[in-house]
Amino acid sequence: VNECTGTPYWRVLYPNTHFRDNAQTLRSLILINTNIPTNSYDQIHFPTQDVTGVRITRERQSILLINVY
């Protein structure tokens, strides 16, 4: 219940406090397609289990994606 298994096509981003706080319930995560290079995105840190964020940067454009429970 506390972890999601990735696939060959998706990487799993958990809230940054997920493993540190021994979360009882997983309520927010983001799946990143493996076609997106790992050096083109950064996880945004929030002090809660209920929010996961990522900034994806490609060339001169940036996308901020936030998943809120």
Work out the mean pLDDT of the chain and round it to a whole number: 88
Model confidence band, residue 68 (pLDDT cutoffs 50, 70, 90)? very high
The mean pLDDT value for 34-40 works out to 95
Q: Give the model confidence (pLDDT) of 41-64 as tens digits.
A: 999 999 888 999 999 998 889 999
Model confidence band, residue 9 (pLDDT cutoffs 50, 70, 90)? very high
Does the pTM exceed 0.85?
A: no
Domain ranges of the chain: 10-68
Say if residues 28 and 53 touch (Cβ distance below 8 Å): no
